[in-house]
Chains A and B, each alone.
Chain A
Amino acid sequence: MNPTQTPIMDGKEHRETSGASHHPGRTLRRNLAKLSRHAFLILATLLVLLPLYFVIITSLKSMDNYSLDKFGFPKPIYTENFRIALRGGRYFDWFKNSIILTLGAVIVSAVVSSMGAFAFARMKFRFRDTLLSSVTALMIVPPVVMLIPLFLLLTRLNMTSTYWGAILVYAALITPFSVYLLTNFFLTIPFEIVESALLDGATSFDILLKILLPLAAPAIVTMVVVNMLWVWNDLLIALVLLPQDDTRTLMVGVTIFGSRYNRDVPIAMAGMLMASIPMILAYLVGQRYFIQGLVAGAVKG
């Protein structure tokens, strides 16, 4: 991952103004055009922020306050919604289930993919290119296509509403992306490093574990972030494979919660806010990885 290119940007900001022409009419027109483009940007930013503003202020209003004034600040600030939301939804269980599934799937996929990617990037074998491009192509197959056979298979194995059943399904679905990302990254690591380790008598497994994986740390972080986001946010698979209370995920929980408190908007919004906090915190801390990862993993959508 290469966080280059950004310095170019910083030097660019003042040039636009200094390049303005000497004709006053043209300058005016240019400034107007610039202003309108700026206005467009601010409008877009507002469109993004207003719904978020609405969620936050509404979650802090009483129902009466909300019915009278939907858009203003809460008067007074009312925190009871969060307590009711925690009682009305099983948020802690949902969080726990989502964390177990996400971690499980991300770890299984990381182990399996780093071994696979190692073979793709550093070994010669028959059908290598065909196999790699088939794996890559799987990235874009929508999960809904696989869902029916997977459901029937897990039912037959008595694995619906079990963590392992869903972990394996999620791990499989995110693996094409993981393999794709890691293979490309391993290919950028100079072969001389591997060669000198081989001369020192390292086995192929040593090379993967002690040389390639540590060097691939940025790619691994990116991969983990994208996969986490994918599993954490999924609704369809969780809805079908984990229908029972005790393994229900946060996203399924949120959906049920949303329709239960359809009329108690402040409580619903408090619930939505709580459900979003982990990802927002993760984004604040690791924004770079989110953006790089999703650009790199563009196909995942």
Chain B
Amino acid sequence: MIKTAKLTPYLYLLPMILLLVFGFGYPLAAIFDFSLRRIRGASGPFIGLENYRQIFKDDVFRQAVSHNVVLLLAVPIMILISILIAMVLYEQVKGWRFYRSILFVPYILAVPVIGVVFSNILQLNGVLNETLRSLGLGALALDWIGNPRLTLWSVMAVIIWREVGFGIVLFLARLLSINEELIDAGKVDGANWWQRLWFVVVPQLRTVIEFYGVVSVITMLAWIFSYIYTISRGGPGNATVVMELYIYNFAFRNQLPGIASAVAVILFLVTLVLIIPVIRARSTSVVEEMI
């Protein structure tokens, strides 16, 4: 530690604290206040829990929540795919770095660009369906984003397409840091590939799985606006409305920031609960090991 005058550390911290109060402190306090008011313009009268009562009565809000919950199904799928690919890359493939580079590309691309591209690919007469038809699989050429029963699943597929790249890199980084004798020991014992994966590798990856799982859950609940906005805008009808879009629509389209704030508060509290295991995972210094 550097010995300094008592005030010096605070001087170094001051700009950071000011910036964070502006970007997080004030908004997080204000959002609770707004959620209890009928906001017009910049403020409005206190109405207690009326906004919350409103949203829980609103069918669209319930649909939005259920869509976010359905999207959570993508989390185990993403974990599974990324572990399998990471494991294959780790074990036996020549040129694994090349594969890793390619598989990571979707994660570099901007979500709005990906959304626009896939909304074209998945059109009724888009390239996917034309290809299916030319392969004689015309029965599978469905209206991927026009049919309200399918749209959410199509969005989920696009999310998986992009976010898996991150999981692969994360799990591969962890595998490379495990003592390889441990994995080899399994080989000597005659364990087959799946046994080694399940009994040796997965336990070693546990903290990273937990970490990636929580981050992905939070992504599915609160960081998918760009996908929805560019692929379906919540439609057809309300088939793909999610909480973020609900907030956006109420705050900036319907001019009802009070209602939107109540949803934002709920979203904040949910992520807060989910942060706890992340902090615990971090204190076991998974991340530091990988840096």
**A residues adjacent to B (C-beta < 8 A):** 1-2, 5-6, 8-9, 12-13, 16, 19, 33-34, 37-38, 40-41, 44-45, 47-49, 51-52, 54-55, 58, 70-71, 108-109, 111-113, 115-116, 118-120, 122-125, 128, 131, 133, 135-138, 140-142, 144-153, 155-156, 168-169, 171-173, 175-176, 179, 184-185, 194, 198, 204, 207, 229, 232-233, 235-236, 239-240, 251-252, 254-255, 257-258, 262, 265, 268-269, 272, 275-276, 279-280, 283, 287, 290-292, 294-296, 298-299, 301
Contact = CB atoms under 8 A, between A and B. Distances in A.
Interface stretch (B45-53, B54-62, B120-128, B148-156): B120-128
B8 A283 contact: no
B248 A144 contact: yes
Contact of B27 (A47, A150, A252): A150
Given A19-B187, A37-B92, A298-B212, 17 more contacts: A6-B176, A37-B193, A41-B99, A44-B85, A48-B103, A54-B121, A58-B127, A71-B134, A116-B13, A119-B9, A140-B271, A144-B225, A235-B112, A239-B229, A254-B116, A291-B169, A295-B170
Nearest to B118: A51
Give the dominant DSSP class at A's interface. helix
A40 B88 contact: yes
B119 interface: yes
11 contacts: A115-B12, A122-B1, A133-B279, A148-B31, A233-B112, A235-B226, A239-B248, A251-B110, A252-B112, A290-B104, A299-B278
B215 interface: yes
Interface string B232-268: 0000000000001001100110000100110011011
B65 to A, nearest CB: 15
Contacts of B257: 148, 152
A247 B99 CA distance: 38
A148 B108 contact: no
A13 B94 contact: yes
B16 interface: yes
Contact of B93 (A38, A120, A122): A38
B285 to A, nearest CB: 10
Contacts of A125: 6, 9-10
B271 A45 contact: no
Contact of B103 (A44, A123, A233): A44
Interface residues of B, number: 110
B130 interface: yes
Q: Which of B118, B176, B221 has the most CB of A within 10 A?
A: B176
Given A116-B13, A124-B9, A272-B113, A283 B108 contact: yes
Contact of B247 (A70, A138, A148, A175): A148
B20 to A, nearest CB: 6
B200 interface: no
B23 A175 contact: yes
B109 interface: yes
B4 A204 contact: yes
Given A2-B291, A116-B16, A294-B169, A254 B34 contact: no
A204 B20 CA distance: 23
B134 to A, nearest CB: 8
Contacts of B170: 295, 298
A288 to B, nearest CB: 10
Contacts of A131: 13
B160 to A, nearest CB: 10
B187 to A, nearest CB: 7
Nearest to A131: B13
A171 B120 contact: no
Contacts of A133: 279
Contacts of A283: 105, 108
B72 interface: no
Interface in B81-102: 81, 84-85, 88-94, 96, 99-102
Given A55-B117, A71-B130, A115-B13, A141 B112 contact: no
Contacts of A71: 127, 130-131, 134
Nearest to B16: A116
Nearest 9 pairs between A and B by C-beta? A172-B23, A258-B116, A116-B16, A142-B222, A149-B30, A146-B27, A149-B27, A119-B12, A125-B9
